[in-house]
Amino acid sequence: MNFSTFWRLFFFSPLVMILMSCSSTLLKYEKEEQLNDIGDYEKRLEVKEIEEPKEEISKKSSDSEGKPKDSAESAKDKSKKESAKKSSRKKSIKKAPRKEAQKDDKKSSSTPKKNVIAKKRLPEMEDSVGFDGRRPEVDPFRVGEKVTLDVTYFNIKAGEIHLQVKPFVEVNGHKAYNFQVDLKSYSLFSHIYSVDDQATTYVDYEELKPYNLSITIKESKQLAETRTLFDWDKMKAFYWKKRYTEDNGEEKKELSWDIKDYSQNVISALYYLRNFQMEPGKKLAFRVADEGNNIEFTGEVLRREVLKTKIGKLKTLVIRPQIQVDGAFKPMGENLIWITDDDRKFIVRIESKIKIGTLVAKLKSIDKGRD
């Protein structure tokens, strides 16, 4: 998969195949589990779940739970103890050396404040507005968020896309975002062509660099597993692919290539775009590494638009994506992305014009996740 064909391959190519195919069920392969066995990838990517902090139950409520009410006598004892505590507090306050405290206050007030130097934003090609170094000043992501888009062709519903933020994970000892994208065909279209695809990427929380990209493809015509590993110490990416079709049987592909720092992958790029501050006329740029290619993604913010959706009218920004390979622009067709004009920047619509008609992903629902 290369970035120029990403929109059709992951979002829309199954729809094109729907129009040309008549297979009704997912392809079966007795050695399907072997496709998922990519030993080198698993050995070099250590992923652990991060336990969520549990809310502490107050000692007072836990002590009182299940105990009988205090008698009048014990209540008196408690009141005596509390009054004794209060009096001891008052004495300790009176004995506090106020002069020393005043001296300390004078010292602290006379001490000159150090200027806080903002962290430098890298790489320099990326816009720095709204960032403190690599971190966005306002994090647009929430664990549990899920945006569902209906995929349609000539207003006929073919399937749906889920853009999700899963709970944080620890990757090779570092905290990471857990982004997941799913594409599934609706039952009606599954009688013609079945699709059940999933992509997962882990992105470093501090540096916003991806550690991996894992794609599982289960369709009527093919079964495939692809893995990409980003080794930022060696500045290299490693790619593995196993694919099975009835015509060609099982096929394998492996490659590695030098990458540029802070490159995204084709899935993390969808999320990474949401970190930037946007205004009409603004152009954004960042790097993408995909299947042996080093690509420069650019997104031009065309306009503001009030978009009618199933959940009501939304204020949005419309972005036109483009890519450059080796400094030359490559055609992506006419593609547009709508994101909400707020701090969260949810992707709420995607359009891709093809030779006949337009493939559209329309907003169905938004779960904003945890606050």
In a domain, 331, yes or no: yes
- pLDDT, position 41: 87
List CB contacts of 16: < 8 A, sequence separation 6 or more.
8, 354
In a domain, 158, yes or no: yes
How many residues are there in the chain?
371
- pLDDT, position 323: 83
In a domain, 328, yes or no: yes
The kind and range of the H/E element at 268 are helix 268-272
Total domains in the fold of the chain: 1
- pLDDT, position 172: 95
Rounded to 10 degrees, what is the CA torsion of 325, 328, 329, 332? Answer: -40
3-state helix, strand, coil in the chain (%, to 5): 20, 40, 35
In a domain, 53, yes or no: no
In a domain, 304, yes or no: yes
In a domain, 259, yes or no: yes
342 contacts 137 by C-beta, under 8 angstroms? no
Residue 159, burial from CB neighbour count under 10 angstroms (0-12, 13-18, 19+)? buried
Domain hosting 360: range is: 3-24+35-41+121-367
pLDDT tens readout for residues 253-306: 999 999 999 999 999 999 999 999 999 999 999 999 999 999 999 999 999 999
pLDDT tens readout for residues 141-198: 999 999 999 988 888 888 899 999 999 999 999 999 999 999 988 876 555 668 889 9
In a domain, 61, yes or no: no
In a domain, 104, yes or no: no
Bridge partners, residue 318, by sequence:
303, 338
